[in-house]
Amino acid sequence: MANQPIGVFDSGLGGLTAVKELLNVLPNEDITYFGDTSRVPYGTRSKETIVKYAMQDINFLLKNNVKMVIAACGTVSSVAVDVGKIVNVPFTGVVKPTCLSAVKATKNGKIGVIGTSATIRSKSYHREIQRIDEKIEVIEQDCPLFVPLVESGFIERNDEIVKLTVSRYLKELKDRQVDTLILGCTHYPILKEAIKDFMGTNVTLVDSGRETALFAADLLANNGLLNESKEAGTCKFFVSDRPDGFASVADIFLNDKISHNVEQIDIEKY
């Protein structure tokens, strides 16, 4: 089973930031990624719809014999919190690993959280942070335009649209002097430089993709599931909409040409 791939899913492209980190942390592991590009975004959907979509995504990955499932989606990790309980392989979302890192990082006890509207409404990060340390002040802000910005290719730190959007969403967090900011959606690290420019160098940005990759490595090791092969792992990419659109934008996330590795599937069958 250790030679089977890690399964990763997201509502669209954002989970590729987690894949990129997995490739850095676990270079020998094979990865099977599913991006639900025909139904993105999840962040504006009802809880019932998000749970339904998450279960279909997981079922697809399990049919592909993955040894672990990572919900590289802040919305699923926040809203469909129980889906991992019915999976018969190790499972993690992004909330717990990210909150653990943020609590360790803060010096003044003020942590900011940015995410999709559904993520922020769920209060998942707020609850998890205060479960770890109830004295920490948590300031949350939804940023609904960040995902379409990234998926439309508006990512440069000096782009006026990017700068105005970042300023609009993050002003209160800056005014309230958070010293740690959770990027609670895996799309958001693509805007990291613009966010850093606005928040200042004294604010620690916590990348949910990075923290989840490190957590996944520990989880695999604890379950005796690390791939001990000396060969570099391979990636397979699946989407629910046209592969060409996925591949062109995915270059932004992975800095690699992957068009020949992308396959479209009918997620409704799962």
**Active-site residue numbers?**
73, 185
- State the residue for tokens 């409704």: 268
Which residues neighbour 254 within 8 Å (Cβ) at sequence distance 6 or greater?
A: 16, 19, 20
**Any idea which residue has 């613009």 for tokens?**
194
Label the pairing between strands 68-71 and 137-142: unpaired
In the numeric block, the tokens 């695999």 are attached to 220
Cα dihedral 216, 240, 83, 27 in deg (nearest 10): -10
Q: Do 217 and 242 touch, CB atoms closer than 8 A?
A: no
Q: How far is CA 22 from the centre of its chain?
A: 12
How far apart CA 53 and CA 156 sit, in angstroms, is 31
What percent of the chain is helix, strand and coil (3-state, nearest 5)? 50, 15, 35
Torsion, Cα 180 147 248 197, to 10 degrees, reads -40
